[in-house]
Amino acid sequence: MEDTSGMEAANGENRSEVCSPRGDEHRISLPEFLKRFGTDENGLSEREVIRRLRECGPNILKETGKESILIKYLRQFRNFFSILLVIGAILSFLGEYLDPGKGNVYIGVALGVVVVLNGTFTFIQEYQAEKTMESFRGLIPPHARVFRDGKVRDVLASELVVGDLILLEEGDKVPADGRLIEVNSLKVDNSALTGEAEPQLRSLQCTHPEILECRNMVFSGTLVQSGNGKAVVFGTGQHTQIGNLATLTEKTSAVETPIRKELNHFIKVISAIAIFLGITFFLLAFFLQDIFLASLIFAIGIIVANVPEGLLPTVTLALSLASRRMAGRNALIKQLESVETLGSTTVICTDKTGTLTQNRMAVNSLILGFERLEPGNPEGEGEASGEVTAASGDITASGAERIPAAAISGWNPRKVPPVFIRVAGLCNNARLSEIAPGYTGDPTEGALLVFAAGLTDLKELGRSYPRVEEFPFDSITKRMEVICRTPEGGLESYLKGAPEVVVDMCGSVLEPGGVRGLGKTEKEDLLDHHIRLAERGERVIALAYREIERQEEYTGDFVFLGFIGIVDPPRPEARGAIAKCHAAGIKVVMITGDHPVTAESIAKSVGLADSEAIEIITGDELKALSREELSSRLKKRSIVFARTSPVQKLKIVQLFQAEGEIVTMTGDGVNDAPAIKNADMGVAMGSGTDVAREAADMVLLDDNFATIVNAVEEGRTVFDNIKKFIAYILASNIPEILPFIAFVLFSIPLPMPVQLILAIDLGTDLLPALALGMEKGEGDIMKRPPRPREEKLLTSQVLFTSYGVKGPIEAAAGFFCYFAVLFEGGWAFGEQLPNSDPLYMQSITAFFSAVIICQVANVFTSRTRFQSVFTKGFFSNKLVLVGIASELLILSFIIWNPLANLIFYTSPIELRYMLLALPFAVFLLAVDELRKYLLRKNVKWVSGLFKW
C-alpha cells in the first residue's frame, strides 16, 4: 500500500476548504482531483479519517420541514370528537352565563379538561410510538463499504469523510457525493435530485459542464440500479447536492391506511348519531317542557354520552404495543398503522432463497462436461499426495449464517479443470470476509466463491487473472460475463448463468480428452443432466469460457465447462408457518428465478402442497398468457412462479389485486422495489438492498417466512382488540343516553347527570379499555379466514350487540337500582327532586354503581369475540384485573369521598342497593357467552345479528 500521509499532511492547512466542494470537481483531471482531497486508490488512513471527521463533522443532513412538537400537539384537537366536546363546553358556559349557579360551569370546565386530557394522552401515545419507530429504524442504519488503509471496511454512512474511497454495488443508496474512478456497467437513478426517472449509465469522463448532468459523478441519496464502481467522496452532509437544495425537505406523504379510514368512518358515524340525538331531544325537551336551558344541558349530555373519548389513544396504544411485540420477533414496522394491514392479508408472495430456505447455499454437485464428479478424495490419494483440502469448520455467510464444511471440502482439485475454478471464482462479485470466516454478497455467488476457495488461492488467482471488464448479471438475460487478462497477456471471457441460456451460447464442450463440438442432440443431453439435478431441489448454474481478442461482450462460441448444483436447505419452521397460513385462509405463493423443476421440489419440501398438484407458472407464461387465462390459474391453492425476473413481481402483485386479494409481497433487490411499494403490505429483507428497505412497510431482520406469519397474527389481533374496545365502550352509551330520554319523556329526576357520564367515559372505562388493547390473540385467530376488504370496524352487528343487547341490560340494571332507592325513600311518580336532595343523590349513585358493576362483567366478556372467555387464563392479561380494580376504586371514591360527593352530586348508599346489579351483570355475561357459543356452531341468524 502506498503511503498517503504526505498528501494528507499537504492538505492539512487547507482542511476546512476540503470540507466544502468548489463546484469544479467534475471538470478537473483525476490526478488533480485526488491531490486536492489528499487521497489515492488505497483510500485514507484511519488516523486521517478521525481528523477529518472532527474538522468537517458527520455525514448527516439536518432535519428540515419537520413538524414541531407544538404543532403535533395542537393537531390532536382537530378530530370531530374534540370539536363536539368543545361545542358542549361552550354551550355549558353559555348556560352558566344565562342562569348562574346551576353547576353548568363545572360541566363546561369538565368538558374542557376532557378535551385537553384526551388530546394530551393521544399525543403522548403517538409521540412515544413515533420515537419507537425511530428507534426501530435505528436498528438498521445506512452503511457504506469503504477502502481505508488499503482494506475494505464496512462503516456507518454517517462516518464517511471527504477523501474516502467508497464501493458502490447494485441496490446501494449512494452515501455521499463522489467522483467515480472505476465503473462496471454502473447505472444510477438520480430522480431524487433531477426528477429524471430513467437510470443513467455512469462513465469516468466529464460529459457535461453542469455537475448534476455529468456522468462521472454520483450523488448522496441516489440509488445504484445496476453494475458497480468506486468513487472518491468530495461532499458530505450539508455540503452535498441534496444538502444544498433548500426545496428538498423531509416530507411525509399522507396516505390513509385501512385502519385510519376505518377510524375516520367510525368517528363520522358516532358523531352523526350524537348530533342527531342531541338536536332531536333538545327539540323534544324544549317543546315538551318549554325550558330552554334545561333542554340545552340535556342536549350536551346526549352528545357527551355518545362520544367515546378514549378511542384514539387506545387505538394508538394497541398499534404501538403490537409494533413493539413484532420488533421483539424480528419484524420492524416502519409505519404504525401498517400493523393492521397485515391482518387482512389474503395472499403472501414470498421469495424462496433465505425466506423459505436457510440461505446456507453450498455446492453439492458437479457435472464436468457430461460426467458427474463425486466429492471426496479417490482412494490412495489425500494430503500425502499433495491434495488441497479446505480446513474443517463452518463458514459464515454475510457474518450471520453458517455454511457447512462439506461445502468447501472434499472436492479433488486434480479432477476439477483450472478454467472451471477460474470461472467459479472470478465471474463472481461476492467477497470472502477478512473479519470472520465467510463471505459477503449474493448467496449463490458466495457458494461458488467458497467452493473455489477450497480448491485454489483466490488472491493469487485474482492477481494472475485481473478483471478488465464486467457485464453484470441481468434478470432478463439470466447470465453474467467478465473479461480477464491472462498471465500471457491474452484475454478470456468467463460466463455463468441459467443452464438453458449458457448451453445455448456454447458451440463446444471441454472433456478430459479435450474440446469437442456441441450439436443439438448433445445440448439436449446436457439439459437432461441439469433437469436431474433440479429434480433434487438443487439450483443449477452453468459455467463456460472462451478465449477472445477484443474487450467486448460475446453471445456465442463459448466452451461449455459444466454444471454446479447448489443446495439451500429449507428452514425447519417454514412448513409449520405455511400450514398456519393455509389454516388461516391465506394463500402462499412462492416466487423464484429457479428452474420450474427445482422450484417444484423446494415447494414440496416446505409444505406448499402436500396432497395436491402445484400450479407452476413460468416467467415466459406470465408474458404470454392473457389476463383471463392467468386469472383462472391464480385461483389454485398452491402456486409457484418459476424462472421469473424481479421486474415481473409487480405484474404478479397487480394480478392478485385485480382478483380482489390483499397482497403482502417480499423482496430484497432493487428490481423488487416497485412490487414492494405497490403491494398492500411490502416486506423487505433485513439483508436486502437499501432500495428495497426504503420501499417496504416492514423489514424482516431475520429474513424468515415464519416472522411474516407471526406479524400477520399480530395484525389480526390488533383489529380484533380494537373491535373489542369499541364493543365495550359503546355498551355504556345506552345507560348514559336513556336517563336523559326518560327525564324528558316521563319527567323523572335525571338518573345520570353529565358529571357521572364523564366519570365513566374518562374514569372507570379508560383503563379497562386500554387493557383490551393489550389482549393476546384468541386461540382460533389463525384458523379464521382473512377479514373481507369491505369489513368495517363499526358494523351493524357491533352496534346491535352494544346498543341492542349489552347496553339495555346495563340500563335496566341502572334503572332497577335507581327506582329501588327512590321508592324505598317514599318518592312518587311526577315528583321533582332538587339536586341537593339526599334521596336524589343516593338514587343517581345507585344508577351509577349498577352501570359500573355491569361494565366489570362487560370488560371481562369482551376479552374474546368468538371463543369462550373462560378459555382465557384469568391472569393472562393482568391489566384487565388492574382495570377492574381501578373501576371499583373510582366507584368507591365517588360514593364515599365528601369532595367527590360535592362535585358529582352523589351520596353514600347501602351495599345492598349495589348488589341488586349483580344478577344483571351475570345475565350480561351469560348472554354474551351464549352469543359466542352459537357463533361457533355457525347458527346463521345469530351470525347475521351478532358476528362482529
Residue 867 φ/ψ, nearest 5 degrees? -75, 155
Angle at 716 between CA 713 and CA 718, to 5 degrees: 110
Lookup result for grid cell 373481507? 788
SS (H, E, C) 823-856: HHCCCCCCCCCCCCCHHHHHHHHHHHHHHHHHHH
Angle at 610 between CA 604 and CA 614, to 5 degrees: 60
Return the bridge partners of 259, or none.
none
460466463: which residue's cell?
495
What angle in degrees, to the nearest 10, is found between the helix axes of 918-936 and 838-861? 20
- Closest alpha carbon to 637 in 580, 585, 573: 585
CA–CA gap between residue 520 and residue 793 (Å, rounded): 63
Do residues 424 and 545 touch, judged by C-beta distance below 8 A? Answer: no
DSSP assignment of 449-493 equals HHHHHTTS-HHHHHHHS-EEEEEEEETTTTEEEEEEE-TTS-EEE
Per annotation, catalytic residue among 351, 594, 672, 928: 351
Q: How does DSSP classify residue 806? A: I
Q: What are phi and psi of 439, to 5 degrees?
A: -150, 165
The answer to whether 132 and 324 have CB atoms below 8 angstroms apart is yes
Compute the distance between CA of residue 856 and CA of residue 870 in angstroms, rounded to an integer: 15
DSSP structure class, residue 173: B
DSSP structure class, residue 384: G
Under 8 Å between Cβ of 475 and 647 = yes
**Whose CA is closest to 493, among 544, 562, 457, 561?**
544
Alpha carbon 690 to chain centroid, angstroms: 14
Q: Is 409 helix (H, G, I), strand (E, B) or coil?
A: coil
Return the SS3 of 817: helix
Strand partners, 183: 229
Can 24 be counted among the known catalytic residues? no
- Catalytic residue numbers? 351
